[in-house]
Amino acid sequence: LSAVLLFDGQAKGEQMRIPDQVLEDLTDYAKNLQKSTYDLYKHDFSVYYGVVASDLLPPSLLHEALTAESLVVIPHGQLHLLPWAGLMHDERRLFEQLPVGILPNLSVLSELSIPATPQQVALVGVSNYQDMQQLDDLPNAKLEVENIRSVYAAANVGIQGPLLDEAATEAAFWELASGISGDGNVLHISCHGTMVPLEPMSSGLLLFDSKVDAAEVASARLPFAEVVLSACSTGWRPTQVQDVVLNADEILGIPGGFLESGASAVLVSIPKAEGKAARALTTNYHQRRVAGDSPLQAFKAAQEN
Tens digit of each residue's pLDDT (9 = 90 or more) over 60-115: 999 999 999 999 999 988 899 999 999 999 999 999 999 999 998 888 888 888 88
The Cα–Cα gap between 185 and 120 comes to 5
pLDDT at 248: 58
Indicate if the pLDDT at residue 247 is higher than 70. no
- Whether 183 shows a pLDDT value over 70: the answer reads yes
Higher pLDDT, residue 208 or 132: 208
pLDDT at 200: 85
Q: What are the C-alpha distances in Å from 245 to residues 118, 201, 242?
A: 39, 16, 8
The answer on pLDDT for 36 being more than 90 is no
What does each C-alpha distance from 193 to 104, 212, 290 come to in angstroms?
A: 20, 10, 26
CB atoms within 10 A of CB 246: 15
pLDDT for position 63: 97
| pLDDT score of 256 more than 80 | yes
pLDDT above 90: residue 178: yes
pTM of the model: 0.95
pLDDT tens-digit map of 115-148: 899 999 999 999 999 877 778 999 999 999 999 9
Beta bridge partners of 192: 206
- Mean pLDDT of the region 205-231: 96
